[in-house]
Amino acid sequence: MADLEERFEIFSAFRLGMIEFFSNDLAEDGMRHRKSSISHRIALRLRPFFPMQYTIDIDTDGADILVWKDDEIPLAIFWSEEYLTEKEKKKAIEYHREKSPGLTLAFSLLHDRSWILIYRFGDDYVEYLHIDKYTFDENVIKRLIIPEKAKDDGQLMLSLRPERKRERRKEAITQDQ
């Protein structure tokens, strides 16, 4: 796991790459491509801000964009054109917990907004940031604690709902008699 200074440098490289992406690639007509095509454009903009010993891949190991060096993963990125769904957030959280990258980020491009929404994942929290697409000013919106996974003790739990219909039927039958 990366230390605080390294995570700061990685996030700074990500910000600089995204500034380049929004300055050069964010034409409204140019953003209606396949996800892998846009991921490739983002990866190209990130490349100059990471040292040569880092490799940047797209659509690999479960992440949309992956920055890695040797056997370590300094940065994993997930993104969507709209707000991330709960399923996409869970995928990023699980990836962060299982692979332990130095920094896990997700973001929403939100074409109709002047900002992007960044989700920054920690071991036990997710932080939401608004970053202006034009000035790249950062505004932390909120930080939420991620609940621990439910412990699996091997016991199968069945959810049994109360049988209200039967009770109502019994009441109706007794009232008719």
Residues 6+ apart with CB under 8 A from 172: none
Coil, helix or strand for 101?
coil
The candidate with the shortest Cα–Cα distance to 69, out of 79, 57, 78, 59, is 57
What pLDDT digit, counting tens, does each position of 84-129 carry? Answer: 999 999 999 999 999 999 999 999 988 888 899 999 998 888 999 9
The H-or-E segment that residue 55 falls in is: strand 55-60
Coil, helix or strand for 30?
helix
Cα 60 from Cα 77, distance rounded (Å): 11
DSSP type of residue 147: P
What pLDDT digit, counting tens, does each position of 33-91 carry? Answer: 788 889 999 999 999 999 999 999 999 889 999 999 988 999 999 999 899 999 999 99
